[in-house]
Amino acid sequence: MASFSKIVLASIAALQVVLAGSPKTCSNPTLSCHNTTSIADTCCFNAPGGQLVQTQFWDTSPSTGPSNSWTIHGLWPDHCDGTYDSNCDASRAYTNITSILQSYGKTDLLSDMNTYWVDINGDDESFWEHEWSKHGTCISTFKPSCYTGYTAQEEVPDFFQKTVDLFKTLDSYTALANAGITPSSTETYTSAAILAALKASFGQNPTIQCSSGALDEIWYSFDVLGSVQTGTFQPAAPVGQSSSCSSTGIKYLPKSGGTVTTTTSATKTTTATSTPTGTGSFSGSGYLNAYTGGSQDGCLISAGTWYTTGTCATYTATASGSGFTLKSSKGSCGISSDTFTCASGVTATVFTASNGLLAYNGATTFYATAVPSGSTQATVYTSSQSVSVEFQWQSV
């Protein structure tokens, strides 16, 4: 039953992808910002925004995203001199990014975006709309005329997918940690040390930005051989950007004003290695990410229901008895009539953790009648149903 509905969903998604057009094939493209003559076809050559910049945030006030990962700001098409265009096509300034991605079956992408492309005010959809309309519409290779058999808005999933894919190759947290640069309320670092750590991983210097003396952005520049959709991204030295960080005394503050948890599993690894590790209790604030068949698929939202396309709710775990209780913005969470619910008036259940997974009466398997999709939320049961699901704590 579970696998049947998954297969049906997968085939619908595959069918929609087939029905979408495809970016024009680019033969023998020219590397952006490296042309010596004018190039008319900007479907296979990025111009005037030839330097594509993958920008990342480290937000600590308030904290956003996992405590051991940077988050996505965007993908910006800078001119080859550091200037840039913005808001290039009002007719494509869409206000339904989530719906467009859903209509193209981009569930995994939305799940990644809900984790890593998060708005500091909690309004992810608006943030995504802003990034798409201000910057995405200026990427020349995303013009509808650059597709064969264009279907409405298909460049939107291409923009968000490419940005997330690039971000996943740019693990700033680990690059810095490998050089001993870790979040701290007391330590300070030099600009040279930060850049050297990032260059060791990226191959080129990125540009770093600071706010009130604390590191809060990294900008990675690329030149592109071919289109953004299908071309090759080559790390490039930034052109015309300036850094707002001083050379010494740079703070790199911890998220959530606290510690970086060790019970959170690696958040950027592939499915095969993202199996939760570590034991112990949950504490502080976190998301409850859903795992079915070994891969992450959505998370719990504030009522305690499972959702695959929305923003994860932040839960608070508080030590109690031999385990901990959970609370969301809706109220305390408890199991009543075999159902996981969070609401005011609910009697808090004492949960435990096993290998980083939520456990009730020692069992980490919960159930739903189906894997939720689109705007459907699934009720989470403790009694057997057709779909098994486990919930992993991710400190935030």
Residues annotated as catalytic are 73, 131, 135
Q: Which of residues 174-233 bind ligand NAG (CB under 6 A)?
A: none
Q: Given the complex with ligand NAG, which of 25 and 96 has the nearer CB atom? A: 96
Determine the Cα angle at 327 with ends 324 and 333, to 5°.
Answer: 85
Question: Residue 338, CB half-sphere, CA atoms under 13 Å: how many?
Answer: 9
Interface pattern 90-109 for ligand NAG (x via CB under 6 A): ----x-x--xx--x------
Distance (Å, rounded) from C-alpha 62 to C-alpha 294?
31
Q: Considering the complex, what minimum distance in angstroms separates the CB of residue 295 from ligand NAG?
A: 25
Residues in contact with ligand NAG, total (CB under 6 A)? 12
Tell whether residue 358 is a contact of ligand NAG (CB under 6 A): no
For ligand NAG, the closer of residues 104 and 381 by Cβ is 104
CB of 260 vs ligand NAG, minimal distance in Å? 38
Query: C-beta of 115: minimal distance to ligand NAG in Å?
Result: 22
Cβ nearer to ligand NAG, comparing 84 with 201: 84
Q: What residues between 67 and 86 interact with ligand NAG by CB under 6 A?
A: none
Site string for ligand NAG, 17-56 (x = CB under 6 A): ------------------xxxxx-------x---------
At its nearest, how many Å lie between ligand NAG and the CB of residue 296? 24
C-beta of 218: minimal distance to ligand NAG in Å? Answer: 28
* 306-307 and 295-300 strand pairing: antiparallel
> Between residues 38 and 145, which has the closer beta carbon with respect to ligand NAG?
38
Question: What is the Rg, in whole angstroms, of the alpha carbon atoms belonging to the chain?
Answer: 22
Nearer to ligand NAG, 96 or 184 (CB): 96
Pattern 126-165, binding to ligand NAG, x per CB under 6 A?
--------------------------x-------------
- Nearest to ligand NAG of 33, 358 (CB atom): 33
CB of 309 to ligand NAG, least distance (A): 13
**Binding interface with ligand NAG (CB under 6 A):** 35-39, 47, 94, 96, 99-100, 103, 152
